[in-house]
Chains A and B, each alone.
Chain A
Amino acid sequence: MKKLLPLLIATIFLLSNCMIMNKNPENNAPQEVVDFDHKFAGASVLEIDGHVLTSSGIFEADNDGKMAPCVKIKVDKGDRERYFAGDEIVLGVEKTVKVVQIDMPETESGKGQVYLKNK
């Protein structure tokens, strides 16, 4: 019995790790989109070609009668505007980016990622 004890402890330890992995919310996070040029977290800062974008947390809002993930972004300390996936952000005369995806994990609010594509 004494000889089996370390094996038993090791088995329990490994099983507990597997349980944690299965419960890890990261494992259920939405798949990342393939085609994007820029990515930033909710409530963070991204610089694109000298323009500074600051993002609010991600939340659900009404987009033409349908609730959808939304983010409020401020460009170069301008006004904070709402953006949904598919909207374009004009950074300057020569630069526009498109919001291609906003991830908002179901279990959490105010978090997730924003994906942008150069136009």
Chain B
Amino acid sequence: MLKEKETKQFKPQPKKAGQDHTKQFFQGQSNEGSFFSVAPTIQKKTTPKVDEVPEKVKEAEKGPVAVKGKGDSHEMSASDINQGSIGDCFFLAGLGAVAHNKPSLLKKAIKDNGDGTYNVTLYKRKGWFGREYGPAQSSGRFASFKKKTVRIKATFPKSVNGNDTANSDTSSMQPHALGGDKDSKGNAEIWVRLVEKAYAQMSGGYAAIGNGGFGESALEALTGENYTEKAHRNITSVKDRLIEASEKGEPTVVSTKSQGDIEKQSKDLVKFADKHDIVGGHAYTLIKADKNSIQIRNPWGKNASTTTPTMTWNQFSAFFKQTSLKR
């Protein structure tokens, strides 16, 4: 599930006189008037940490960190990602983008401490009082990042009798991403859930990441590099930039319009979207783009009707409205 955000510029823009980004930030509005979330910062103080979930609704995992599955080019592959019932598609699509293009980054990020705990290294924007203080790109500045190592146990919230554990007193008890490849003993690898949990821990809990977000935030946390959200006002420039990102191997996330806007498309387009699980308010990993077509990956993974649909640029522009690109 994706939070809406209209943005931004590719190139740093000088700050306009009298432009008060701080005020816009407090008001929950970007400089273009659309919704802009401040939730991750807020919820850090109000949401229970993920390790505060009672043990009875958690499931200890004994699986290996990563297993190279059939057809995978690396043991940490985008194909390992299968979203659960929380709305963190923006993060899992970003994780898939990094796994697809820079799997070694993820391998370096996870350290097994040998005592049932793992250290996962992510990145956090440096800012005023340690906050992610507004979008740096709005003022034309680049953010700098600091490493944040999160120590976590390999325990994850689970479904109870098939029910979503969100039906409880603690909103952070929601099922995590589903399992990926299995080892010879049948144990599922845990790297996706480890990184997801570490990101949740850093952000304030599963609830803090489970109600939408921006691919930009996920990619910055995973790579320590500056990202921006590019609104698709001119599909030609977006197309060129996506082809460039694909050729350079830059982890990239693309995000759909609202479901209401997708429903307004022609009958054939709606049929295509329904068939291939192109749904509104969702984030997808860029797999490949060339002058004729674009291929993306749905973070639903094995549960999507088409996990990696390919579409023409006309179809893409009918469904997608923004891209999280490296700056």
Cα-based distance from A13 to B86 in the complex (angstroms): 32
B163 close to A37 (CB less than 8 A): yes
Cβ of A52: which chain B residues have Cβ within 8 Å of it?
303
A40 close to B259 (CB less than 8 A): no
Number of interface residues of A (CB under 8 A): 45
The 10 closest A-B pairs by CB, nearest first: A110-B281, A57-B281, A41-B87, A57-B280, A109-B258, A59-B260, A57-B259, A43-B282, A56-B279, A40-B85
Cα-based distance from A42 to B3 in the complex (angstroms): 11
A43 close to B42 (CB less than 8 A): no
User: What does the 1/0 interface line of B273-311 toward A look like (CB < 8 Å)?
Assistant: 010010111100000000000000000100111000000
Cα-based distance from A59 to B87 in the complex (angstroms): 16
A25 close to B35 (CB less than 8 A): yes
Cβ distance A60 to chain B, nearest Cβ, rounded Å: 6
Say yes or no: A39-B35 contact (C-beta < 8 A), given A23-B27, A57-B258.
no
Cα-based distance from A79 to B277 in the complex (angstroms): 10
Q: Is A90 an interface residue (CB 8 A)?
A: no
Say yes or no: A39-B167 contact (C-beta < 8 A), given A59-B258, A110-B1.
yes
Cβ distance A118 to chain B, nearest Cβ, rounded Å: 9
Near B by CB (< 8 A), chain A positions 54-72 give 54-61, 71-72
Contact check: which of A19, A46, A109 meets B281 at CB < 8 Å? A109
Cβ of B261: which chain A residues have Cβ within 8 Å of it?
109
Near A by CB (< 8 A), chain B positions 16-46 give 26-28, 35, 37-39, 41-43, 45
Cα-based distance from A32 to B3 in the complex (angstroms): 20
Cβ of B282: which chain A residues have Cβ within 8 Å of it?
43, 57, 110
B42 close to A24 (CB less than 8 A): yes
Cα-based distance from A9 to B21 in the complex (angstroms): 20
Q: Is A44 an interface residue (CB 8 A)?
A: yes
Cβ of B38: which chain A residues have Cβ within 8 Å of it?
20, 23-24
Cβ of B35: which chain A residues have Cβ within 8 Å of it?
25, 107-108
Q: Is B149 an interface residue (CB 8 A)?
A: no
Q: Is A49 an interface residue (CB 8 A)?
A: yes
Beyond the given A45-B300, A57-B282, could you list 18 further A-B residue pairs with CB under 8 A, ordered by the A residue number?
A: A20-B38, A24-B28, A37-B164, A38-B163, A39-B167, A41-B211, A42-B1, A43-B282, A45-B82, A56-B259, A56-B279, A71-B259, A74-B277, A77-B305, A80-B274, A109-B260, A109-B261, A110-B259
A43 close to B87 (CB less than 8 A): yes
Residue pairs across A and B with Cβ atoms less than 8 A apart, 10 shown, are A24-B28, A40-B86, A44-B83, A45-B85, A46-B164, A57-B2, A59-B280, A72-B259, A72-B279, A111-B281
Near A by CB (< 8 A), chain B positions 249-266 give 256-261, 263
Near B by CB (< 8 A), chain A positions 19-39 give 19-21, 23-26, 36-39
Say yes or no: A60-B26 contact (C-beta < 8 A), given A40-B85, A41-B86, A111-B87.
no
Q: Is A16 an interface residue (CB 8 A)?
A: yes
Cβ of B159: which chain A residues have Cβ within 8 Å of it?
47
